[in-house]
Amino acid sequence: MNVLSRCVVLIFLLLSSVSTHAQAQKNSPEYSRADAAFSALKPDSRVLLEVFLTAAGYYNSVPQATFSTRLFNAVKQFQGENGYPQTGALDSIQLEKLTSVATSKLDLWGFERTRHPSRPVAIWVPMGLGLTASRTSSGIDWKEPKDRVRVTFMSTPAVDIDDNFSALIDLMESKGAKIHYRVKRPDWFVISFTTAGSIDGYARYHRDGPNVTGFTLFWDNTAGDVNGDRIATLMSGSLWAVMLDKPFPAIPRRAPVMANAPSAPASQTPSPAPSPKESQPRLSSGTGFFVSPEGHLVTNAHVVEKCEQISIKTSDGTIADARRLNVDVANDLALLSVKVSPKKTAKLRIGVRLGEGVAAFGYPHTDLLSSSGNFTLGNVTALSGLGDDSRYFQISAPVQSGNSGGPLLDTSGNVVGVVSAKLNALKVALQGGDLPQNVNFAVKSVILATYLNSNDVAIQSGSVGEKPLDSADLADRAKEISAFVLCGAR
């Protein structure tokens, strides 16, 4: 028997051994009990469990809500590494531990469900890594400031899926990339690779009507490990679920967000933006700002989610009824439609720097303060909110009741956030003995941009000017795009 023949025999014996072991596992009582426990869960809960195992680093397969030897072994590995009996089925204590490990990573990545600009396809994108977006002719590109992560989300029209796959493989090989695996099906394909420059990559594309739509993720572990393989698996699962109409969970958060503020530790509870007239509980108010010439207006979810009737008043005195189009309680955002042609609309700028100057505008305490609006200046004091919530950043610009939903602008007049909440300073002082000053929070513009995209509202991009606007000009700009929002019951 020659060397080649011996190699073939050894490979056959190895594969037979693996297959026999897997079959023995499936026939074991332990596997049957674990399978029954998993199958008893609802499909969404099964997928969520797989998402948690992926985020924690134990499972590297697209979540499909079906039990398998790979999933069985992933659970056993988690149990073994954390000192639990390796049964393959999680009890409530083990699940709590897994959730804690997984959400620490999910909070770091800060996934946001982001829709393609021209196709009805949305994927999870790790925006919490500080990605900055740029539009392309075929979609959106994102880049992380440290260049550890890059994402290309694209749709190519009038191309065959087989031709697209072949062209991508040829391109990679011509540039010296090492392809680790490739999977090709009639309607989709996946490629895992490492470039000649030692940058890892993952590509997943699907047939999308006459188009081919998907993403390519690059990550550079030499610049800092962000667990790109786990990000790739979760992004892949999000696209797979959309394209094949399979169950996939909402993006898991560390804790549910209250209706009026970002989630926070008990010792740092943000206070709600209360009604300006506490003696009239059927009325409340806030601020909003226009994001389209067609009269789309953004505010906070907690300003309007319980309203039966909504009215707005613009800076020129125009009063109009508003219709609620969408409310996103998780991210504290709401979209209204108003039959008003605004003089100006917000231009969004994605990303701010720590310490950058910002300005807040709103209509706080209209029963006590100026009904013409209130303008304050401050700085970005932290790039995350309470509990390191990556959807928010912290600002020192003073805000009051009624500022909720107002624009936060940079010194060039671009909207960089949506004022959302303020820390309950009195409660913190009573608990810790220190009275915090001007600790306020805003929803990041990248979250707003994703939200608008998902609601088919075109985003107007802003840019940084050569020199900052004068404060008075900045206040005029803020006032022109803003509106007073009044909420009440019929």
Cα separation, 293 vs 297, whole angstroms: 10
pLDDT bucket at 371, cuts 50 / 70 / 90: low
pLDDT value at residue 423: 43
Q: Is residue 118 part of a domain?
A: yes
pLDDT value at residue 438: 54
User: Which residues are CB-neighbours of 82 under 8 A, at least 6 positions away?
Assistant: 94, 97
Per DSSP, the residues of 183-212 read: EE-SSEEEEEEE-TTS-EEEEEEEEETTEE
Q: Let me know whether 170 and 311 are in one domain.
A: no
pLDDT of residue 261 exceeding 50, the answer is no
Q: Measured between alpha carbons, how far is residue 279 from residues 276, 284, 373, 487 in Å?
A: 9, 11, 22, 15
Cα separation, 214 vs 208, whole angstroms: 9
Q: Is residue 19 part of a domain?
A: no
* Pair of tokens at residue 135: 């539009």
Q: Let me know whether 347 and 481 are in one domain.
A: yes
pLDDT bucket at 144, cuts 50 / 70 / 90: confident
Q: Is residue 463 part of a domain?
A: no
User: How big is the chain, counted in residues?
Assistant: 490
Q: Let me know whether 41 and 163 are in one domain.
A: no
Model confidence over 24-43: pLDDT tens digits?
566 788 999 999 989 888 88
The answer to whether 232 touches 202, Cβ cutoff 8 Å, is yes
Model confidence over 262-275: pLDDT tens digits?
333 333 434 444 43
pLDDT of residue 208 exceeding 50, the answer is yes
Q: Is residue 21 part of a domain?
A: no
The residue from 59, 79, 106 where one domain ends is 106
Cα separation, 193 vs 381, whole angstroms: 40
pTM for this model (two decimals): 0.54
The answer to whether 170 touches 191, Cβ cutoff 8 Å, is no
Cα separation, 276 vs 362, whole angstroms: 13
Model confidence over 228-254: pLDDT tens digits?
999 999 999 999 999 998 888 888 765
How many structural domains compose the chain?
Answer: 3
More confident residue, 34 or 22: 34
pLDDT of residue 7 exceeding 90, the answer is no
Per DSSP, the residues of 280-307 read: -TTEEEEEEEE-STT-EEEE-HHHHTT-
Q: Is residue 444 part of a domain?
A: yes
pLDDT bucket at 428, cuts 50 / 70 / 90: very low
The letter for the amino acid at 168 is: L
Q: Let me know whether 301 and 435 are in one domain.
A: yes
Q: Let me know whether 84 and 158 are in one domain.
A: no
User: Which residues are CB-neighbours of 457 under 8 A, at least 6 positions away?
Assistant: 291, 292, 296, 335
Cα separation, 72 vs 89, whole angstroms: 8
Cα separation, 71 vs 78, whole angstroms: 11
Model confidence over 384-399: pLDDT tens digits?
877 677 888 889 887 7
Instruction: State which residues form the domain around 293.
Output: 268-456+471-488
Q: Which residue has the tokens 């010792």?
A: 267
The residue from 210, 244, 278 where one domain ends is 244
Q: Is residue 424 part of a domain?
A: yes
The answer to whether 65 touches 48, Cβ cutoff 8 Å, is no
Q: Let me know whether 100 and 131 are in one domain.
A: no
Per DSSP, the residues of 48-61 read: HHHHHHHHHTS--S
Q: Let me know whether 96 and 132 are in one domain.
A: no
The residue from 106, 140, 162 where one domain ends is 106
Least confident of 217-226, 336-345, 352-361, 430-439: 430-439
Other C-beta atoms closer than 10 Å to the C-beta of 488 total 15
Model confidence over 49-70: pLDDT tens digits?
999 999 999 999 988 888 999 9
Q: Let me know whether 156 and 134 are in one domain.
A: yes
Q: Let me know whether 128 and 100 are in one domain.
A: no
CATH code (residue 315): 2.40.10.120
- Among the listed residues 43, 145, 44, 30, the one whose alpha carbon sits nearest the alpha carbon of residue 86: 30
pLDDT of residue 432 exceeding 80, the answer is no
Q: Measured between alpha carbons, how far is residue 428 from residues 74, 209, 439 in Å?
A: 42, 55, 11
Cα separation, 346 vs 293, whole angstroms: 10
Q: Let me know whether 221 and 284 are in one domain.
A: no
Q: Is residue 436 part of a domain?
A: yes
CATH code (residue 238): 3.40.1000.10
pLDDT value at residue 248: 87
Least confident of 1-15, 24-38, 105-119, 318-332: 1-15
Q: Is residue 307 part of a domain?
A: yes
Q: Let me know whether 120 and 188 are in one domain.
A: yes
Q: Let me know whether 436 and 302 are in one domain.
A: yes
Q: Mean pLDDT highest for which of 128-132, 146-150, 238-242?
A: 238-242
